[in-house]
Structure 1
């Protein structure tokens, strides 16, 4: 019997052409070892570094479960080391693994605002799926020098001590460092709440709070505070809690940065808080040791500096050619017994553009925020301040420095001359003025008026306990009777001789009619 080969070949050709439309090419490997969020896979000879993998899972009854995502971390001669983004309970020795050809991406855009998500951008707030259809790569190379411009635009915290003496600009990286329970998160949350004012202007700041290794209850409390202060509508919370696997804690800061960068590249402004990076470094150390990478100092891997530098270098003020958007980073680092010279703190200090150091002694003495202005610094400095603040804050720093020197001397109990006594009085009042309760940011114009009043001696004859009530009443006065002077200051954003005279006159008028709580 003669077979018509031409007909068979045409049938095969048609089948192949039809099959090609739905053909998916994926390399398949096998798990040879799994445990502690790490899997070693054989057979993925063409896998890329950082590529996403799909691990097939098996349930207890033997049926197939939901696949678990993983990422390639180690490329060895015949084995691939991967981390699992999930509990990996259904992954066992012999499980099938597929390459995806993609790098890790997360959803970005307006759809993530107001939501609480995990490190992969999946919602964990019970409000349904994320509506965003855009995604962005999680780990990208930071913009080059030519794509940037100097930082000159203020990022107002609403915290008097920060905006006056440690000014932060849009596009800056300012480290918040201190022992546990000294108010580090409080300063960052105040900065987020203060951006509420910008959402009434043309240039809103979109905020991203990344919680790494925090308790779920702590994250819930932060979300509740943001909602109570009306800040959640422009904020996204990315949580990789203490109970989350180490790979999730490692990747969460990069995911938050990608979500923030989306707005930066659209010419908008974003603020991202990493709370905290010392826990991310611990998670990365755990992964590295399990992947059998050589340990270095304090058992951290050799690339732990690169872990943070490639993250924080993505914060910048883009050039006007690139839209002029900005990404401001506030990394938080926890110290042990105030040791800022430890490995991870010194690494991050060398990457950032300054630090806000919070001191336990000040915190427990009731000076809150407990900012030590001697060690704290902003390497952008006055460039990130409005002119009026620059004019009044110079004398403030000098007053506080002189006060600290004299305070130690005065404790010896020696007789003090009139000039020294005046300096001590002024310094004590200024320390009281800079105290500020949480969740109560102060507008920068009101800050300038308060600090100007302190610098001109309007607080010197008040009792220390009267300073805060006086400052609060002064804000109310300049919102009502003295509004014309405040409006002029807001318009000029600088103090000339004429405006200084008007301010002094208004302050004197206010002080003459002000009654202290003791007099009332």
Structure 2
């Protein structure tokens, strides 16, 4: 009886058995170099697709499609991957998990927290690293100011929400300082701005210093740091700016304004060059691959101001590029200059002479111009750049002897000296726009003519302190009230005698 029952059970199992097959698109690792792996297989892989090594919990992104091989960049610890490991296609485009909780955190290029807070960031939405930029019909003109709090920029090289403004200069000229001051100044911005600082190939100690300063000023309450330090693989450095842009696009879709600092795209280009050489792509000028321009154009084109129909949000980009010996005609700088909507050029000579921020007003330009300024700022700062340029020419001419100069020329030189002193500004001390307007109004209308050049700094410090308690909007009224009690210890007359 037992044998009959067993036979019946086996017959039932065999009759009900339905064979199932699972077809998976897989690839086997042939080699791994500095975060880049060459795989055999993955015949159905797509560019930018996410693939997984399930056994080791490592993700990668497809970057190169060959006839028989696929090149991928490994996200995470690439030393865990070895020859013979298997990756499986997911059919998904590489993306980063984002939610409102990411604000205030430090994450790597894959969205993994690095700030030691120990809590995972909840994911509200997966944002693709690569995305086609908004079409022309989906955008609106840049017309809302993004105040940096830096007098020289807000008055002469204004930045609007949705603009791409390049910060360019030699090493150690204050490029990052301008970016950090801009982030700090968004504390009082209305509507609010979500700031994203993307560190590419920077030292960990430098990023820690920036994080400490942002914490001290309260700016981390609205800031995200995407960190791909020099110790990370070139693969992580390559995708870091795309991850930062994907985070910004999450807030863009919600109708919010965001600001991205790419620090810096020179190191990003170096990382991409190294990736391309490992992938055996044909090198071109300076060993960069042929698509080096497209690398940055498709990144920066995602910065825009959407139409009101799509929420009216914006992404403002401040990419940073380092030059060598002031050469702005080098390959990467000229590429990015042609992509952006203007540039803020910093000069080593001015920086070393103590004129900081060391902005060269002659070369620096904003292609948005007065459209990104308030009416009051546009009115008072309209001739500031011209006055400064004329002063530089007259100052150079006066070095041959000032005895024969007419009174109008002497007045222009004296006014220019005070403008230059007024534009000096300490780091981490951004100014409210009302204070900036009043300061420019003061120098344009002769309020500083009776103050010696060496005393302009004292006036500025006292006036800024006065403006912290003064609520007046009219600059003339505010200045008249201030000078009614201001003690002029050093006068311009004393200086001349």
**Which residues of 2 match residues 116-515 of structure 1 at below 5 A?**
116-128=106-118, 129-198=120-189, 201=190, 203-415=191-403, 416-480=405-469, 483=471, 486-487=472-473, 489=474, 503-504=475-476, 506-515=478-487
Partners of 2:205 and 2:477 in 1: CA distance: 50
Aligned mate of 2:96, from 96, 106, 111: 106
**Cα 1:384/1:176, change in 2 over 3 Å:** same
Partners of 1:152 and 1:506 in 2: CA distance: 28
**Which residues of 2 match residues 78-117 of structure 1 at below 5 A?**
78-117=68-107
Q: How many aligned positions are there? A: 484
- Residue 78 (structure 1) shift: 1.2
Partners of 2:22 and 2:397 in 1: CA distance: 78
- Residue 82 (structure 1) shift: 1.5
**Does residue 1:11 correspond to 2:11, yes or no?**
no
Alignment partner, residue 49 of structure 2: 51
Over aligned residue pairs, what C-alpha RMSD do you find? 2.1
Partner SS state of residue 76, structure 2 = coil
- Residue 474 (structure 1) shift: 2.3
Partners of 2:393 and 2:65 in 1: CA distance: 58
Q: TM-score, normalised by structure 1?
A: 0.89
Partners of 2:58 and 2:280 in 1: CA distance: 22
Partners of 1:409 and 1:204 in 2: CA distance: 47
**Does residue 1:41 correspond to 2:32, yes or no?**
no
Q: Any idea what the Cα deviations from partners look like across 1:285-316, whole Å, max 9, x if unmatched? A: 00001100000111100000000000000000
- Residue 46 (structure 1) shift: 1.1
Partners of 1:510 and 1:72 in 2: CA distance: 63
Partners of 1:12 and 1:35 in 2: CA distance: 46
Partner SS state of residue 295, structure 1 = coil
Partner SS state of residue 382, structure 2 = helix
Q: Any idea what the Cα deviations from partners look like across 1:246-292, whole Å, max 9, x if unmatched? A: 01000000000010111111111000000000100000000001100
Partner SS state of residue 89, structure 1 = helix
For structure 2, the 5+ residue unaligned runs are: 492-497
**Cα 1:126/1:173, change in 2 over 3 Å:** same
Partners of 2:85 and 2:407 in 1: CA distance: 82
Partners of 1:302 and 1:50 in 2: CA distance: 19
Partners of 1:504 and 1:77 in 2: CA distance: 72
Q: TM-score, normalised by structure 2?
A: 0.93
Partners of 1:394 and 1:339 in 2: CA distance: 29
Preserved contact between residue 98 and residue 247 of structure 2 (Cα < 8 Å): yes
- Residue 475 (structure 1) shift: 3.4
Partners of 1:207 and 1:259 in 2: CA distance: 10
**Cα 1:339/1:93, change in 2 over 3 Å:** same
Partner SS state of residue 355, structure 1 = strand
Partners of 2:402 and 2:451 in 1: CA distance: 24
Preserved contact between residue 315 and residue 326 of structure 1 (Cα < 8 Å): yes
Partners of 1:464 and 1:449 in 2: CA distance: 18
